[in-house]
Amino acid sequence: MTHLHSRTPLLEHRSLSTQLGKKVWLKLENTQASGSFKLRGIGLLCQRAADKGVSHLVCPSGGNAGFAAAVAGAALGVRTTIVVPHTTHESVRQNIRAIGADVIVEGSVWDEANLLALRLCEQPGAVYIPPFDHPDIWDGNATMIDELAAGFDFDVVVCSVGGGGLMSGVVQGLHRNGLQQVPVIAVETEGAASLAAAVQADELVTLPAITSIATSLGARRVAQQALDWTRVHDIRMAAVSDAQAVDACLRFADDMRMLVEPACGASLAVAYQNLPQLADFSKPLVIVCGGIGADIAKLQAWKLQFKLN
């Protein structure tokens, strides 16, 4: 099978490495055609569905998963509908439409958009494409570790957690490549920390609301698989503020000349803030998950909102 995703670059962040006295590695998933890692898992799920004869892909999404599904649908020649809530910025809706997918705006939150998506999937030939909670998605996301497993030396993986699809893929990739001893630092923003809540309760928890600006991490309830991995793998929790996530985005833009969302900035903030979770490690690998929900205007507005230098 020819994958829809690309093999992404691996770069050392040299200035951060010098500042921290560590080798800080970046897996640049922001360079995928979809602007984020989502094309790996979503793309594989769409591909396998198309191979079974599906004629209509339906994805409820706040942005990145829908954009990845739209990219996959265009590549596969399959009709694609993305259902987004009213909170999804118009620029994101336009980006999805520009690829050729239909966009339906429904509800004030993702849960309401999801209900419509499920109803649309009752039509013949339609299949539901979830944003993060499916074995094919984790299987596809694991390929980023497959690309690194041979001959690359890292001692921890830092990744952002929304619904847990990225983290589940990362851990699956570590295990299938004999790297199950490598810990994962799972990063959430304050106000969207549904995995931390689940770990503390030792069961899935539905947050009453998402109050973080990192809306791509805005899953009120993580996938069961993500919680299950915390029970069998060394996963260390970290939480950053919205201000820290935005500050990391701004510094990353200056350092690497790349724009990423606060959802991605959350992971970068672990290194930029030199959080205690990094203390035990000398060769961290940061998954730069990307995201299409950031532009210069939004970053400037957030900079002013949080009074950042």
The percentage of the chain sitting over the pLDDT mark of 90, rounded to a whole number, equals 83
Confidence band of 75 (pLDDT split at 50, 70, 90): very high
| Rg value, the chain, Cα | 18
- Asked whether 212 and 183 are in contact (CB, 8 A), the reply is no
Cβ atoms of 54 and 78 closer than 8 Å: yes
CATH assignment, 10-37+135-305: 3.40.50.1100
- Note the pLDDT tens digit of each residue in 158-195: 999 999 999 999 999 999 999 999 999 999 999 888 99
Q: How many CB atoms lie within 10 A of CB 275?
A: 17
Strand blocks (E) in the chain: 10-12, 25-28, 56-60, 79-84, 102-105, 126-128, 156-160, 184-189, 235-240, 284-288
Q: How far is CA 57 from its chain centroid? A: 20
Which residues neighbour 199 within 8 Å (Cβ) at sequence distance 6 or greater? 227, 230, 237
Predicted confidence band of residue 217 (pLDDT cuts 50, 70, 90): low
Name which of 28, 12, 8, 27 is nearest 259 in CA terms: 28
247 contacts: CB under 8 Å, gap ≥ 6: 265, 269, 272, 306, 308
Interior angle at CA 230, CA 13 and CA 219, nearest 5: 75
pTM of the model: 0.95
CATH 3.40.50.1100, the chain: domain bounds = 10-37+135-305, 38-128
DSSP letter, residue 290: B
Residue 136: both structure tokens together: 């094919």
Which letter, b or e, does each residue of 160-192 get, where b requires 16 or more Cβ atoms within 10 Å of its Cβ?
Answer: bbbbbbbbbbbbbbbbebeeeebbbbbbbbbbb
Contact between 148 and 154 (Cβ < 8 Å): yes
CB 165 within 8 A of CB 173: no
**Per residue in 249-267, pLDDT tens?**
999 999 999 999 999 999 9
Q: What is the dihedral of CA 133, 137, 138, 144, to 10 degrees?
A: -140
Count of Cβ atoms closer than 10 Å to residue 54 Cβ: 18
Cα separation, 184 vs 144, in Å, equals: 14
Q: pLDDT tens across 282-306, in order?
A: 999 999 999 998 899 999 999 999 9
- Going by pLDDT thresholds of 50, 70 and 90, the confidence category of residue 196 is very high
Report how far apart, in Å, the C-alpha atoms of 114 and of each of 105, 110, 193, 283 are.
11, 6, 21, 39
CA distances (Å), origin 257, targets 239, 253, 260:
25, 5, 10
Mean of pLDDT over the chain? 94
Helix (H, G, I), strand (E, B) or coil at 86: coil
Task: For residue 297, give the amino acid letter.
Answer: A
Record: fold of 38-128? Rossmann fold (3.40.50)
